[in-house]
Amino acid sequence: MTARGAPVSGGGDRRPDALPDVAAGRAAACLGAITRRLFDAGRGLFGPRRPFGGRRYEHLWPFANAWAAADALAGLPGSGRAATEMLAALLAGVAAYGRTTSTSGGGEVPPGGFESQVVPPLGAGGDVFYDDNAWIGLAALAQHERTGEPAALRLAAGLLEATTAGWSTERRWAHPGGIRWKPSPATTSRNTCANAPVAELAVGLHRHTGNPAPLEWGHRLYGWVRAALLRPDGLYADRIAPDGRVEPTPWSYNQGTMIGAGVLLYEATGDPAFLEQSTATAEAALGWFDGPALLGQGPAFNAIYFRNLWLLDRHRPDQRIVRSATAYADEMWRHHRSLRTGLFTGAGSVLNRSAPMAAVFALLAGAPPSP
């Protein structure tokens, strides 16, 4: 059974100034449902309970998106305290994805980065993916911005080092350079999702530390994606192979991270070219991702897309961003949410559907955006 209710976008006598309150209430409801049904506060991990005891813990990608949602909710009155307490648990809990990380205090990165699944004794572990580690780095950096936690900043810095280690040195490949999707030498795919979020992480670290080296990485990664994966229509393709073949699909989160990387580079350098490039990408993306197209992307991709559009909005305000996010959020709340559980329905990870929606509602409620 799915939920029906009054849309965030108004109707009847609902005043525009009441809309953030509606979104804040929905964000809090999402956080509450996730906490009750999926969050293991003792371990700082997420996962549904098994029928005969214990939990099946989520992969690193949904964990990262839940961490990003907690970052967003920490900026809202009413949800801030619960979300901030969750952030502290997640900073320690991420150690469950690394084989040599300390389990106390947080801030440590295992050699090579975190694995895609929890490691023994809680799970079997899995491959390391550079994009997964970039999302964790961005969530940790946002936590540092929200709370000032130094361990979160150390974690973000360690993950920049771990992810940039994946920069390709194959000079014979088309468009040499770029971070590969996985550390394995057999991995030849270089994806927007393994480069653009690392560019954001790098520039964000420069902002917080003043260190010029991360800014250099931000320039390099952003420039590589534009050279290798920018389509003629202004959107970014998914990935490129060594022979130059491009998989052209324009996923929403890839547009978002390149928009955000350009905004951060503009803020770091003052060069208006970066802002113009982000604005052009946003223009193309807002035209491409209409209602049905957004629904086909999934909440995890769309939350990343919207939070980066909001970064651009602070320099180039555009009411289409709010309208698009509002229409999407209404559709998801009214037709894709279970009344029984309060979680969002559909295929795949329930956490990866529900936590990103909490983040979208938090943005609509006025939470400050982060990459």
Secondary structure (DSSP) of 266-288: HHHH--HHHHHHHHHHHHHHHHH
- Using 50, 70 and 90 to split pLDDT, how confident is the model at 104? low
% of the chain residues with pLDDT over 70: 94
Mean pLDDT across 100-127: 86
Mean pLDDT across 324-345: 97
pLDDT tens digit sequence for 30-60: 999 999 999 999 999 999 988 887 899 999 9
Residue 80 has pLDDT above 90, yes or no: no
Contact 207, 268 (CB under 8 A): yes
Q: What local confidence, expressed as pLDDT, does residue 291 receive?
A: 79
Top-level class of domain 18-364: mainly alpha
Q: What local confidence, expressed as pLDDT, does residue 5 receive?
A: 40
Higher-pLDDT residue of 291 and 369 is: 369
DSSP 354: H
Q: What local confidence, expressed as pLDDT, does residue 14 receive?
A: 34
Using alpha carbons, select from 254, 273, 127, 243 the residue that is nearest to residue 200. Answer: 254
Cα 75 to Cα 81, 125, 310: the distances in Å are 9, 33, 15
Mean pLDDT, the chain, rounded, equals: 93
Amino acid (1-letter code) at residue 352: N
Mean pLDDT across 102-121: 85
3-class secondary structure, 166: coil
Higher-pLDDT residue of 316 and 102 is: 316
CA distance 55 to 58: 9
Residue 289 has pLDDT above 80, yes or no: yes
CA distance 359 to 362: 5
CB atoms within 10 A of CB 284: 17
Mean pLDDT across 314-338: 96
Domain range annotation of the chain: 18-364
Residue 290 has pLDDT above 90, yes or no: no
pLDDT tens digit sequence for 240-284: 999 999 999 999 999 999 999 999 999 999 999 999 999 999 999
- Alpha-helical (H) ranges within the chain are 19-37, 60-73, 80-93, 130-147, 150-164, 196-209, 212-229, 252-269, 272-288, 291-295, 299-313, 319-335, 350-364
Q: In what order do the strands lie in the sheet with 246-247?
A: 190-191, 239-240, 246-247
